[in-house]
Structure 1
């Protein structure tokens, strides 16, 4: 089969053999924002046409290619959802090239409720496949799965189904603060990672002094530490990273994590290392998986279809 992860800013594909092993993997800077309406089949053919020419088979596409701005919309599947529910809502391409069966994988949706207030929806698109893959690779049917990134996801899995999740705009807030706020004048955003400064940011975000005023207060300390010469521009980037990640963990530690919890982290090595360090500060164990989770998830979904 051909497994494809087509996101907002990037496109990745993998050719898998009959046992699910990766024969070849290809990355492209052809996220959906670079593709004009109606041009998705042509871009797909240009990137993976030689794979399709080898034989005929199944291709599953996860990520934003299944959104309204993508190739074909695959409506969100409501939680709780497992392989069967997602497989039932695949959106199949009507006229696929070269006789292949090609389908868009639906994202997931859930509802957050607060007493006395209307329910608020939450969504993911692409991360559900990574969670399914991590379940396969880790041999788990229950657990907490965290996907760090621009919009971090915290998902709960019970009996092989994603029962719910919460999204945190951690990566985007960090980018906005470090590149487009007053803090950008004193932070060297491209500086090497500083473990000590990151740990200080974590401690500040999770501390109990003065009732912990939250990120809107603590973020200003990235300016005052520089103003009073207590931290240089390079370490300040890691300090701010610790603040925003620490705030994310503060929102989850009490309600989501508990004693003996092991969190499964899915993402780039750079981000999962930071989250593992942050969780470690809270006494929470973790394990990390990378891009292999995507291919394992699409492979497992293909088996569910069969």
Structure 2
């Protein structure tokens, strides 16, 4: 049997299981993605209550894979390991690398003959600061470091999303991180506050106006003073009332303002903690990462690169650390 044919054989089922969705990856024994599946059966939409719901959702998305290859190991990351998940994988204190994730993992019977090994989340609990947590992003980070060795010594990873994360990497470990509720606050303000009443859908013929409004929001954050935030967000209404900004671009202004405040804070924290060494990488949904890259450019901060979804590779690295798989030598180089 040729090495090429061997590398096409499945070696791992990897689950990225969040609150609103479940993604399953069938990985070959060189770590490559052979198949990808996705459903809306996240923690909030299980087909049955309790453990039976997790078992059915897993069987629905991966049961035929196991029928064909019953000995495949299964690993999972994300909110599936939270207190509301299939089985809680308690938070691990920083500093953490993928080996620590493996040592603090938990297992749960899948209901179809194999156990599912679940990765824990991370806890940062410093005496002088409120605690902070990550669950799910640690797997993406493991994948990002595996595919970008230059980041291992020192790097800052910015992960935009509903709850954005700023993560500091030092000597291959996650040493510090900060969470920002930027995406969630944007959604709440647009959908459930008076600000959203003037926000019409963007006009397709005004991309330059949208970019200018976004930049105006970032600049407002850059030049803000302590305590200005709640005053500044009201401008997302008054700029429309006075017609200083067209209604279709008010969302862009608000987005720039919120992202700008996140960047100003994140960069200041990194500087105060002397976490300025190493490249800055964006990880997440491409269009959102592009928006963050635009905001960084406005602030004059270079971004090394953008990475879409390193979760499959991170789950592979987690499985390797667990000793569940033994890839061919040099298969991932």
Q: Which has the higher contact order (CA 8 A, sep 6+)?
A: 2
TM range (shorter): over 0.9
Q: Normalised by the size of structure 1, how large is the TM-score?
A: 0.92
Q: CA deviation at 1:280?
A: 1.4
Of 248, 265, 276, the match for 2:262: 248
Name stretches of at least 5 consecutive residues in structure 1 with no aligned partner.
none
Q: Is the CA contact 2:18–2:43 (under 8 Å) kept in the aligned structure 1?
A: yes
Q: Which residue of 2 aligns with 1:66?
A: 81
Q: Which residue of 1 aligns with 2:122?
A: 108
Q: Is the CA contact 1:205–1:212 (under 8 Å) kept in the aligned structure 2?
A: no
Aligned pairs, number: 298
Q: CA RMSD in A?
A: 1.7
Q: Is the CA contact 1:198–1:239 (under 8 Å) kept in the aligned structure 2?
A: yes
Q: CA deviation at 1:271?
A: 0.8
Q: Is the CA contact 2:283–2:289 (under 8 Å) kept in the aligned structure 1?
A: yes
Secondary structure in 2 matching 1:146: strand
Matches within 5 A, 1:1-306: 1-35=12-46, 36-38=49-51, 39-55=53-69, 56-93=71-108, 95-114=109-128, 119-139=129-149, 140-141=151-152, 142-188=154-200, 194-207=210-223, 211=225, 213-256=227-270, 262-286=279-303, 287-291=305-309, 293-306=310-323
Mapped to 2, the partners of 1:260 and 1:49 lie a distance apart of: 45
Mapped to 1, the partners of 2:201 and 2:91 lie a distance apart of: 36
Q: Is the CA contact 2:155–2:277 (under 8 Å) kept in the aligned structure 1?
A: no
Q: CA deviation at 1:14?
A: 0.7
Q: Which residue of 1 aligns with 2:328?
A: none
Q: Normalised by the size of structure 2, how large is the TM-score?
A: 0.85
Deviations 1:241-298, CA, capped at 9 Å, x for gaps: 000000101111222157675311111011100111111122222211112x001111
Mapped to 1, the partners of 2:122 and 2:286 lie a distance apart of: 25
- Name the CA shift for 1:107/1:281 in 2 (closer, same or farther; >3 Å): same
Deviations 1:14-70, CA, capped at 9 Å, x for gaps: 100000000011111111011221211111001111111121121111111111111
Q: CA deviation at 1:151?
A: 0.6
